[in-house]
Amino acid sequence: MDFGDIPQRGLVLLGCGKMGGAMLEGWLSQGLPASAVHVIDPNAPDWVAARGVSVNHTLPSNPAIMVVAVKPQMMGDALPSIQGYGNGETVLLSIAAGTKIAAFEAVFGLKTPIVRAMPNTPAAIAQGITAYCRNAHVSDERLELARALLCAVGKTVELESEAQIDAVTGVSGSGPAYVFHMIECMADAGVAQGLPREMAMELAVATVAGAGALAAASEESATQLRINVTSPNGTTGAALEVLMDAENGFPALLNRAVAAAADRSRELGA
**For residue 244, is pLDDT > 90?**
yes
Calpha distance 183→206 (Å, rounded): 9
What pTM, to 2 d.p., does this model score? 0.88
What is the side-by-side order of every strand in the sheet holding 154-158? 54-55, 37-40, 11-14, 65-68, 91-94, 114-118, 128-134, 154-158
| Residues linked to residue 58 through DSSP beta bridges, in sequence order | none
Among residues 8, 140, 111, 20, which one has the least CA distance to residue 62?
8
**What confidence category does residue 74 fall into, taking pLDDT thresholds of 50, 70 and 90?**
confident
Calpha distance 263→237 (Å, rounded): 34
**For residue 245, is pLDDT > 80?**
yes
98: Cα separation from own chain's centroid:
13
Write out pLDDT tens, residues 123-182: 888 899 999 999 999 999 999 999 999 998 899 999 999 999 999 999 999 999 999 999
Write out pLDDT tens, residues 18-67: 889 989 998 998 899 999 999 999 999 999 999 999 999 999 999 999 99
Looking only at Cα atoms, what is the longest distance across the chain?
A: 68
Spell out the domains of the chain, with CATH numbers in brackets.
6-165 (3.40.50.720), 173-269 (1.10.3730.10)
Contact by Cβ (8 Å): 49, 74: no
